[in-house]
Structure 1
Amino acid sequence: MDWREQQPYARKQGESFDVKYTGSCYCGAVKFKASSDPVDAKFCHCTGCQSLHGAPMQWAAIFHKKDILFDEDALDNINFYDSENKQNVRHLPCKISCKQCRSPIADEGRNMMLMFPVAFKIDRRNIPHAFKPTCHIFYGQRVADIKDGMPKFEGHKDHSNKIEE
């Protein structure tokens, strides 16, 4: 089946999608919606995120694919990147960015979407509770110590050792 016919890029005819949040890439060519709060949110300190975002860490919100929908007119502006094989193809898991402005939008997994909250139209001075990070992951690869009282994991949350603050 073509990716344009699958979630999060399409819905079956007549299937409803209640919009709770909207977002887009930097230039607005790729717009998307979310129908629910994220399942979790975290700060990632892995070297891949550091390189991709040009920052010491990135902020991610995790959604089920069924809860994200890209606007149909945005599909021609989506770029997929398979970082494992270093190819511009949709081989899951893969990274999603805008073909126009190149801003990163998400990481697509088999069942989940790791979305970047800064792409959502949310008040950054009053972040919705569900978007607030609950922990730091890959903190063992950090480039700066963060003293915020949140749990810090060497690798993935609950699947690696905790690092004391």
Structure 2
Amino acid sequence: MKVTGACHCGQITYEAEVDPERSGICHCTDCQVLTGTAYRVSIPTLPGTFRLLTGKPSVYLKTTADSGARRRHAFCPNCGSPVYASADEDNPSTRGVRVGGLAQREQLAPRRQIWCQSALPWSQDIADLPGVPKQ
């Protein structure tokens, strides 16, 4: 499936191919801190398909993961929107793009969860919380 994405301010735009069955939630504490919320939803790009269309993201090298993996996190230098994470290498074959920045996000419901031991208990069932259509 072809996806297109952008940061909040529109400075960074990109496209890629993804397999919708690979969309997932990460509950690790690094993702909680990096997103400012309970978890991160991302999807890996198919090898060699990610293409940056406009802008140049800033990159933060995360070296503190419980897994021991070094990951490059790309984000918009203007608005701060997270764009993707990748292996710590130049021109990685795949990137984990952030589903929230994709125009097709409604079609990319998560199919799996990882790092569930770090999941915040309250994040597991919010269906009964009162809600309003807009505010």
TM-score over 0.5 (shorter chain): yes
Q: How many residues of Structure 1 are paired with residues of Structure 2 in the alignment?
A: 116
Give the Cα–Cα distance (whole angstroms) in 2 for the partners of residues 49 and 133 of structure 1.
Answer: 15
- 2:103 — aligned with what? 121
TM superposition score normalised by structure 1: 0.63
Name the amino acid aligned to 1:84. Answer: T
Structure 1 stretches of 5 or more lacking a match? 1-18, 86-91, 148-165
| Identity over aligned pairs, percent | 22
Deviation at residue 115 of structure 1 after TM alignment: 0.6
Deviation at residue 137 of structure 1 after TM alignment: 0.4
Residue 64 of structure 1 aligns to a residue in which SS? coil
- 2:59 — aligned with what? 80
Q: Paired residue for 1:101, among 71, 76, 79?
A: 79
Superposed structure 1 runs of 4+ greater than 3 Å apart: 35-39
Deviation at residue 65 of structure 1 after TM alignment: 4.1
Q: Paired residue for 2:32, among 28, 36, 50?
A: 50
Greater strand share, structure number: 2
C-alpha distance after superposition, 1:53-89 (max 9, x if no partner) = 0111111111134121001x413xx10110117xxxx
**Pairwise CA RMSD of aligned residues?**
2.3
Residue 26 of structure 1 pairs with residue 8 of structure 2: yes
Deviation at residue 21 of structure 1 after TM alignment: 2.0
More relative contact order in 1 or in 2 (CA 8 Å, sep 6+)? 2
